[in-house]
Amino acid sequence: MHYDAIIIGAGHNGLTTAAYLAKAGRKVLMLERRDIVGGCAVTEEVDPELAPGCRVSTASYIANMLRPTIIKDLKLISYGLKMVTCDPGMQAAFDDGDVVGWWSDEDKMRASAHATLVSAPPSTYHAASVAISVLQWILHC
């Protein structure tokens, strides 16, 4: 069989390329080694026994680089794409079961961090504050 293009790997870059080529009338063969497409941007069930039905993104956690042009060109909304704001955007889980959420609302975030870390040694609190500030700086860049 003849193909205009063969794409190896159905991650989001391969899928996007294949979609644009197919849209332009090219005959495309896409090969993926897994039984699910999406690559690092996949949403899948992690543990069917311990958490049946619980589907999560197993690598990428935020779609901050998906260009609006692609959403529009490929009519992704009509295929069910829905952008959901993550709030809290990040969570740190500790061995004792405590979870610190990084909320978009600064007061809420500080309260969450304070409630969990207030009983921790000052060094832990300081390390967590620095980590949160660095993450905040990175994501606002």
Ligand X SMILES: Cc1cc2nc3c(=O)[nH]c(=O)nc-3n(C[C@H](O)[C@H](O)[C@H](O)COP(=O)(O)OP(=O)(O)OC[C@H]3O[C@@H](n4cnc5c(N)ncnc54)[C@H](O)[C@@H]3O)c2cc1C
Give SS3 for 105.
Answer: coil
Position with the least CB separation from ligand X: 11
CA angle, 44 then 45 then 49, to 5°:
165
By CB under 6 A, tell whether 62 contacts ligand X.
Answer: yes
Binding residues with ligand X: total (CB under 6 A): 20
CA distance 46 to 57: 9
Instruction: Give the one residue of 23, 34, 110, 126 binding ligand X; rule: CB under 6 A.
Output: 34
Residue closer to ligand X, measured from CB, 10 or 100: 10
If one asks whether residue 89 binds ligand X (CB under 6 A), the answer comes out as: no
Among 19, 28, 60, 132, binds ligand X (CB under 6 A): 60
Q: Which residue has the tokens 């069917």?
A: 48
Q: Taking CB under 6 A as the rule, does residue 21 contact ligand X?
A: no
Return d(Cα 43, Cα 58) in angstroms, integer.
Answer: 7
Binding part of the chain for ligand X, among 60-68, 69-77, 89-97, 131-139 by CB under 6 A, reads: 60-68
Q: Classify 41 as helix, strand or coil.
A: helix
